[in-house]
Structures are given as structure tokens and as C-alpha cells.
């Protein structure tokens, strides 16, 4: 088989793995049905959309176990084991990532598999007669939302990436798309997809049987985050416009909520397995099924370490808790989010903090650890803090603080004005910007936001300074001094680069 089939993973796939049944969680595997034979009816399109949602679940892409590519790249988590799996996972938090890293390539392929499945829907949907035209509009919007979500992760992690918006059917088409597109154009496509989703007939909120599917609230929240990222990381000329666009989109998402203020929703309810179907703070999540070996959540058990039972009934032998003391020390005195999110394991083989934010020790999950935790990608506390960030950049500190205080009030910590009067707090977070970054860190810990927050809040040079100022003793075996300007982006996986070293050029510092 020609090397061209390596290009961006599943982009060359001419087959589709479909979903069936009443729920889009329930999958069947027709094993590589050619797409020209597959798309015959309106229901086939629905099953293909379900297949795109299913691809989000993988830990190689955006699922609950994808923290290696986000949290372990940040200062929140990591690992001290530099031997297992040839030390490749350790490279992420050690900032010694090599283009040949197989986990890196797997993540690249996982994200492009999501895009491929969305493109299969969007390429073939016009060839199907719909008895209900509203379904065609909704399925198109869902596929575009999913594609935008995957590309948003790609462009933030790699910068310029191949931009493919259709099914690739021939080797010539594959060859024509074997090049990195400038990130500005990738962002433009993300914005276009999300605008189409916002202006579609998607429901205002996803609830009931639609839980886990795209909604206008989710599309607006994601679009607002995209605009905010563009405002803070792309050209300054469009900063003002992008900030205002972010404010409008995030406000639309916020106004779609079905509650008043965040304090009405206990923090623990957000992660309660028994309330995941009714908690109004959740905007978009990957739905898991407790007790089901194929569609369960394993995050509770996977984060548990030797000698502990708080997360799961499953007995684990892991001895490497992956929470950095740097994060633990950032929690304010008396912040209940600390005791809920992390715990010190006192087993002689561990003696480290581990993640307890995601728990399912119920009989339903059992001793196999087949948990029912949904993986939450977007929730309202995140939206509130992004609005605080936008208003702060726009010079409206008063409104920014109002949104910041909603999160702090719910957590039971002093409001910003009182906290700022505390010398300990004000010395750590002397500006409103750093206070918002702090709040995002402790509120959204281990939800795969921290690395992207650091990229958004700091220029590359400032981020190098920020990371180097940390105490190495609070970071573990991974060396903070390794962090440099090259680490703004991941290297292009070597197998992708070698396809065409000119058009698939390597990121600086990895040549």
C-alpha cells in the first residue's frame, strides 16, 4: 500500500462504521461498508452522524482519557514514570516530545478520524431524499459542530494543519490535500461551521434523549471560545472585533441557561453520576452508560491509586498519582473544590496526590469499574469565566468581576473584592487577569482546559517565563527547564512530515 494512505489518518477512509438502535451510544459494526453503498436513506445519515459522535469517545481523540494531550501537557498533572511505554507518555509533561512519539501520532489520527466521519456525512447528505427536511438541516449542523470541535483542538495543538472538508475518494484527492493550511484559514472554517450550527434548527439545549448531542447553547459556547482564542493568539488587528464576537456568542450561550445563578447548582452535582441527566449546568457531554463494558466510563477507576477506594470499587495497583503539588498549593484555604477534586494517597508505595473529581463507586459500576460518569466538554462555569475574561480584556472590570464572583460564590470562597484584600491572595494573583486564570484552574481542574488557558492567557515568551518561575520540586521528575518556545505547538508526527517535508513542514524546534 502506498505511503500516501498514511496522510492524516482516516482521511483516506472510504468506509463507514455506523451506529444503530434507539440511542446513538448503541453501535453495530457493519465492517467497512463502502460509502457509495451505505448512504441509501435518511436513517443511514442519522446512523452516520451517530458514528461521528461515537468517534468523540476515544481517549485517542477527545474522550475522558485524553488527558495526556492536555492536562499532562500543563502544570496540573503529569507522571514521574519515565520508563513505561518507552517513556513516550512522559515526554508530554517533560517537554521533550519527539516527532516520532507514537502517542502523538495516535492523537493526530484520532482527531482526524472525527473529522473524517463528519465529512462523510456532509459529503453524502445531499444525495439522500429526506421525508423530513428539518432532519437534514439538523444532521448537517451536528456534523459541522463535531468537525469544528475537532479542528479547534488540532489548530491549537499544531498550528497549521491540513484542512479537509469533504470525503477523499481517490489517491489524487489525497495527494492534493497533503499540505498544511495556514491556521487563520482553519479558524475561518471553524467559525463558518459553528455559525451554520448556531443558525440551524438545533435545539436551544440538549436534554432527554438528545443529551450528548449538539445544541445552539453548545455551538454558541464553542464559537465564543474560538473567537476568544483568536483574539488572544492571532493578529492584533482583529482583536477588538474578535473579543466582541466572543462576548456576543458567549452571552447567547449564557442566556440560554435554565437556571438563575451558579450557586443554585452545588458544585458536586456537576460530577454526580446520579444527576448527570438533570444537572442544568451541563451544556455538552459525551454520554457514558454505567455497567456497559463498551460504553462505560473508566475515568474513576483509572485515576484511583493503590490502597484507595474513593473513586471506584475496582482495586487498582497504580502507584503514580499524577497531580502536581503546584496545583494543590494553588487552592485557597478552605476551598471545598480541593477536597472534592484531589486526595493524598498515603499508601507507602504512592505518597502522592491523585484525582478524585470523577467518582463512581456504586454497585452499578461494580468491581470492574464500569462507571457511569459522563465526560463534560462544556459547562456554564466555563462560560461564565470566559465572559469574565472577555469583559476584562474589554476594560469592563466590574462586569468581569460579577461573572468571576458567580463561580467563587458557588464554591464558598470569598468574593473577589474580599479576596483581593487578603495579602496572600493578592500576592499570588495581583491582577484581575491572573485571578481569572486562577479561578479557571481550580474550578475546571482535570477537565482538559488548563493547557489551552495557558496558551490563551500568555504570549509564548511570557509562558516560558511563567513556567520557569515555578518550583521544580512541585512538578516532579519532569524538567520545567525543558520548556521553551518550541513547546507552543506539538511537532508534526514524523510519518506525516515525511510524506512531503515541504508541504507538511515541521514546526520550529523539532527539525
For 198, 262, 278, 314, the CA distances from 272, given in Å and listed in that order, are 29, 16, 10, 18
Q: Which helix (H) or strand (E) holds 218?
A: helix 216-233
pLDDT band for 69, please (50, 70, 90 cuts): very high
Can you tell me the mean pLDDT for 357-376? Answer: 97
What are the extents of the domains in the chain? Answer: 1-202+483-511
H or E segment and range at residue 353: strand 352-355
Beta bridge partners of 127: none
CATH code for the structural domain at 1-202+483-511: 1.25.40.390
Query: Given a cut of 70, is residue 435 above it in pLDDT?
Result: yes
Question: Which residues make beta-bridge pairs with 353?
Answer: 344
Task: Reply yes or no on whether the pLDDT at 24 is more than 90.
Answer: no
Neighbour tally for 366: CB within 10 Å: 17
Model pTM score: 0.93
Instruction: Report, as an integer, the average pLDDT of 267-296.
Output: 96
In the predicted structure, residue 1 carries a pLDDT above the cut 70: no
- And the C-alpha cell for 337? 473544590
**How would residue 10 be classed by pLDDT, with cut points 50, 70 and 90?**
very low
For position 422, what pLDDT does the model report?
97
For 433-457, what is the mean pLDDT? 98
Nearest by Cα to 206 from 216, 198, 192:
216
How far from 37 is each of 15, 41, 51, 100, CA to CA, in Å?
Answer: 10, 11, 16, 37
**Nearest-angstrom CA–CA distance, 160 and 497:** 13
Pairing assessment for the beta strands 33-34 and 282-286 based on DSSP bridges? unpaired
pLDDT confidence of residue 91: 97
Confidence of residue 9 (pLDDT cuts 50, 70, 90): very low
Task: Check residue 346 and give its pLDDT.
Answer: 86
Query: What is residue 121's predicted lDDT score, i.e. its pLDDT?
Result: 97
The C-alpha atoms of residue 220 and residue 205 are separated, in whole angstroms, by 11
| Exposed/middle/buried for residue 360 (C-beta within 10 Å: 0-12, 13-18, 19+) | buried
> What number is the average pLDDT over the span 145-156?
98
* pLDDT value of residue 229: 98
The answer to whether 398 touches 265, Cβ cutoff 8 Å, is no
Which set of grid coordinates corresponds to residue 92? 508530554
In order, the DSSP letters of 419-451 are HHTSHHHHHH--SHHHHHHHHHHHHSTTSS-HH
At residue 27, the pLDDT reads 44
Burial bucket for residue 426 (CB in 10 Å: 0-12, 13-18, 19+):
middle
Q: Report how far residue 58's alpha carbon sits from residue 94's, in angstroms, rounded to the nearest whole number.
A: 24
- Average pLDDT in the 403-425 region? 98
pLDDT bracket for residue 322 (50, 70, 90)? confident
Least confident of 4-8, 90-94, 240-244: 4-8
Q: What is the pLDDT of residue 33?
A: 64
Distance from C-alpha of 335 to C-alpha of 146, rounded to nearest angstrom: 35
Q: Distance (Å, rounded) from C-alpha 142 to C-alpha 54?
A: 13
Query: What's the CA gap between 311 and 355, in Å, rounded?
Result: 9
SS3 annotation, 93-154: HHCCCCCCCHHHHHHHHHHHHHHHHHHHHHHHHHHCCCCCHHHHHHHHHHHHHHHHHHHHHH
Cβ(61)–Cβ(118) under 8 Å? no
The radius of gyration computed from the CA coordinates of the chain, to the nearest angstrom, equals: 22
pLDDT higher than 50, residue 140: yes
Residue 281 has pLDDT above 90, yes or no: yes
Give the phi and the psi of residue 376 in degrees, each rounded to 5.
Answer: -90, 120
C-alpha cell belonging to residue 252: 447567547
Distances (CA, A) of 103 to 74, 110, 289, 396, 495: 17, 10, 27, 42, 13
The answer to whether 25 and 289 have CB atoms below 8 angstroms apart is yes
> Which residue stretches of 356-493 are H helix?
380-393, 397-411, 416-420, 423-428, 432-443, 450-457, 460-468
Asked if 178 and 7 count as a contact pair (C-beta separation under 8 A), the reply is: yes
Q: Report the percentage of the chain scoring pLDDT > 70.
A: 93
Average model confidence (pLDDT) for the chain? 93
Are the CB atoms for 410 and 384 separated by under 8 Å?
no
| Residue 7: predicted pLDDT | 41
Report how far residue 290's alpha carbon sits from residue 273's, in angstroms, rounded to the nearest whole number: 9
Amino acid at each position: 500500500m502506498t505511503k500516501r494512505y498514511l496522510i492524516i489518518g482516516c482521511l483516506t477512509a472510504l468506509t463507514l462504521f455506523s451506529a444503530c438502535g434507539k440511542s446513538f451510544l448503541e453501535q453495530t459494526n457493519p465492517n467497512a461498508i463502502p460509502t457509495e453503498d451505505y448512504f441509501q436513506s435518511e436513517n443511514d445519515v442519522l446512523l452516520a452522524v451517530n458514528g461521528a459522535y461515537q468517534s468523540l469517545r476515544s481517549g485517542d481523540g477527545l474522550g475522558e482519557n485524553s488527558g495526556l494531550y492536555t492536562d499532562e501537557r500543563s502544570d496540573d498533572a503529569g507522571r514521574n514514570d519515565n520508563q513505561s511505554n518507552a517513556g513516550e507518555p512522559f515526554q508530554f509533561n517533560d517537554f521533550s516530545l519527539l516527532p516520532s512519539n507514537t502517542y502523538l501520532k495516535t492523537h493526530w489520527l484520532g482527531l482526524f478520524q472525527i473529522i473524517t466521519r463528519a465529512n462523510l456525512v456532509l459529503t453524502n447528505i445531499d444525495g439522500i431524499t429526506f421525508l423530513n427536511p428539518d432532519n437534514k438541516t439538523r444532521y448537517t449542523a451536528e456534523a459541522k459542530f463535531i468537525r469544528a470541535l475537532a479542528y479547534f483542538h488540532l489548530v491549537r495543538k499544531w498550528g497549521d494543519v491540513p484542512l479537509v472538508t469533504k470525503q477523499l475518494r481517490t489517491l489524487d484527492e489525497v495527494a492534493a490535500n497533503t499540505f498544511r493550511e495556514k491556521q487563520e484559514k482553519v479558524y475561518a472554517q471553524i467559525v463558518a461551521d459553528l455559525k451554520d450550527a448556531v443558525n440551524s434548527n438545533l435545539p436551544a439545549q440538549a436534554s432527554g434523549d438528545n443529551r450528548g448531542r449538539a445544541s445552539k447553547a453548545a455551538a454558541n459556547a464553542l464559537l465564543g471560545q474560538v473567537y476568544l482564542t483568536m483574539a488572544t493568539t492571532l493578529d492584533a488587528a482583529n482583536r477588538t472585533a474578535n473579543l466582541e464576537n466572543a462576548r456576543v456568542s458567549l452571552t447567547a450561550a449564557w442566556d440560554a441557561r435554565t437556571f438563575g445563578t451558579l450557586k443554585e447548582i452545588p458544585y458536586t452535582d456537576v460530577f454526580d453520576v446520579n444527576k448527570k441527566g438533570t444537572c442544568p449546568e451541563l451544556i455538552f457531554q459525551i454520554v457514558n452508560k454505567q455497567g456497559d463494558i463498551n460504553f462505560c466510563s473508566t475515568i474513576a477507576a483509572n485515576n484511583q491509586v493503590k490502597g484507595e477506594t474513593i473513586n471506584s470499587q475496582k482495586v487498582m495497583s497504580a502507584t503514580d498519582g499524577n497531580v502536581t503539588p503546584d496545583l494543590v498549593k494553588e487552592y485557597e484555604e478552605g476551598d471545598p473544590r480541593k477536597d472534592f477534586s484531589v486526595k493524598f494517597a498515603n499508601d507507602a508505595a504512592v505518597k502522592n496526590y491523585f484525582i478524585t473529581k470523577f467518582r463512581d463507586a456504586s454497585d452499578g459500576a461494580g468491581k470492574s469499574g464500569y462507571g457511569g460518569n459522563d465526560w463534560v466538554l462544556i459547562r456554564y462555569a466555563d462560560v461564565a469565566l470566559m465572559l469574565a475574561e472577555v469583559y476584562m480584556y474589554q476594560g469592563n472590570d466590574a462586569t468581569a468581576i460579577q461573572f468571576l464572583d458567580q463561580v467563587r460564590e458557588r464554591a464558598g470562597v470569598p468574593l473577589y473584592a474580599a479576596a483581593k484584600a487578603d495579602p496572600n491572595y493578592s500576592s499570588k494573583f495581583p491582577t484581575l487577569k491572573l485571578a481569572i486564570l486562577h479561578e479557571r484552574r481550580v474550578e475546571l481542574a482535570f477537565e482538559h482546559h488548563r493547557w489551552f488557558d495557558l496558551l490563551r492567557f500568555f504570549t509564548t515568551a511570557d509562558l516560558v517565563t511563567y513556567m520557569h518561575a515555578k518550583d521544580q520540586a512541585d512538578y516532579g521528575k519532569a524538567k520545567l527547564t525543558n520548556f521553551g518556545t518550541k513547546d507552543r505547538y506539538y511537532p508534526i508526527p514524523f510519518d506525516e512530515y515525511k510524506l512531503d517535508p515541504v508541504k507538511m513542514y515541521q514546526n520550529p524546534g523539532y527539525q
